[in-house]
Structure 1
Amino acid sequence: MSHTVTTWHLHQTSREALSPTAEPPAEQGVRIVRSEVPAPEFSRFLYTAVGGDVLWTDRLEWPYARWAEHLAQPGTETWVAYERGTPAGFIELQAQPDGVVEIVYFGLLPAFRGRRIGGHLLGYGTARAWDLAERWPALPETTRVWLHTCSDDGPHARANYERRGFRLFRTEVTEEPVAEVADPWPGAGR
């Protein structure tokens, strides 16, 4: 059994294209912090907690060593949004050749969606993509930031990216097997 999936590739080709959003109210206690120590356990937690209900499955089979190798690559960064000390979501950046930075993953845990955190995290994380070379001096200055989202992602994903100044540059339509929702609680009784 399959279903049709539309994948949209979006990008920014200048820092000036970024349109950040207002920060959540101070009383909400939201802060964004770079996870500077590569921790496969933490990254896998974020991946499964955010992607469990939107069909993120490509990294579920990764062993610990592959997570560690991925996170140790120069120019790979994870920025985490916290609400009053609790992880609310993350954005993962990865440097590519010629000053290109991909936003590989971005999202919020289900309990934190609709709380004015996503737009702020995306804007902040995109700004960090544009200044990535300042933290990684061996990398060239960023010339382009890109990402992709698809019809299996949240219903507001593409619009959020476009509000932050990303523009569509390619659309793909494919037939994909129907996947079960990834379970962020493996081994738990249902």
Structure 2
Amino acid sequence: MSETITVTTWHLEQTSPADLRPTPAPAGAPLQVVRSERTGPEFARFLYTAVGGPWTWTDRLPWTYRQWRDWLDQDGLETWVAWVAGSPAGYVQLEPLPDGEVEIIYFGLLPGFIGQGIGSHLLSLGTARAWDLADRHPARPATRRVTVHTCSLDGPAALRTYEARGFRVFRTDDAEQPVTAAPGPWPGAEA
């Protein structure tokens, strides 16, 4: 019998653009946040593993190239990438759902950029882009709600970062799941 742990998941929301409490870019950082308008499966998987590897993001590791392509081809799906001095530092990915809801489906930083104020600014910009997503995708309805979820396996600052940007918890779930090692950015590779 495999060992399990209880994982708590917090579901958060904003119901108005006025809920957003933005954070400016950190002073002195050569930071740019740019929408990746041609995100290919290779780049999307790189961001997913480089950001999520330390936090046990594993659900998309078995995806095929075609599954990544089909997901990325959704109308309205957007990837915003933070760049510091020409290197990718993190990303926020927006997925439009029915009825004007936009989910921040993925958000985070590569390990070397954590703790520098970049994440709060990136989340601020990503949330603002969720609110105005229909401006860039006229076939999508106007955003009426922005959601995100985080869990007890994510970074220790995740929940308070979302709350500091104006997100409110609307549901909390606890579930048992098998204990697995965080795969790191290179699943299966030895450190």
- Shorter chain as denominator, the TM-score bin is over 0.9
- Give the equivalent residue in structure 2 for 1:58: 59
> Does 2:30 match 1:10?
no
How high is the sequence identity, in percent, across the aligned residues? Answer: 59
CA distance in 1, matches of 2:108, 2:21: 18
- Is this contact kept in 2: 1:149–1:157, CA < 8 A? yes
Return structure 1 stretches of 4+ with deviation > 4 angstroms: 186-190
Aligned twin of 1:29: 30
1:34-183 correspondence to structure 2 within 5 Å? 34-183=35-184
Q: Aligned equivalents of 1:155 and 1:168: distance in 2?
A: 16
**Which amino acid is 1:5 matched to?**
V
Q: What is the CA–CA distance in structure 1 between the aligned matches of 2:89 and 2:184, rounded to whole Å? A: 18
Q: Residue 175 of structure 2 aligns to a residue in which SS?
A: strand
Deviation at 1:180, TM superposition (A): 1.6
Using the TM superposition, give the Cα deviation of residue 183 of structure 1 relative to its aligned residue in structure 2, in angstroms.
3.4
If the length of structure 2 is used for normalisation, what is the TM-score? 0.96
The answer to whether the 8 A contact 1:38-1:72 is kept is: no
SS at structure 2 position matched to 1:62: coil
Query: Which secondary structure does the structure 1 equivalent of 2:55 belong to?
Result: coil
Question: TM-score when scaled to structure 1?
Answer: 0.97
Deviation at 1:187, TM superposition (A): 6.1
Contact 1:38–1:68 (8 Å) recurs in 2: no
Change (3 A) 1:186 1:174: closer
Q: Distance in 1 between matches of 2:46 and 2:154?
A: 18
- Please tell me the root mean square deviation across aligned C-alpha atoms, in Å: 1.0
Q: Which runs of 5+ in 1 are unaligned?
A: none
Contact 2:52/2:184 (CA < 8 Å) preserved in 1? Answer: no
Asked if 1 retains the 8 angstrom alpha-carbon contact of 2:53 and 2:187, the reply is: no
Q: Which amino acid in structure 2 is aligned with residue 7 of structure 1?
A: T
**One-letter amino acid of the structure 1 residue matched with residue 43 of structure 2:** F
Task: Answer yes or no: is the 8 Å Cα contact 1:30–1:81 preserved in 2.
Answer: yes
> What are structure 2's unaligned runs of at least 5 residues?
none
SS across alignment from 2:96:
strand
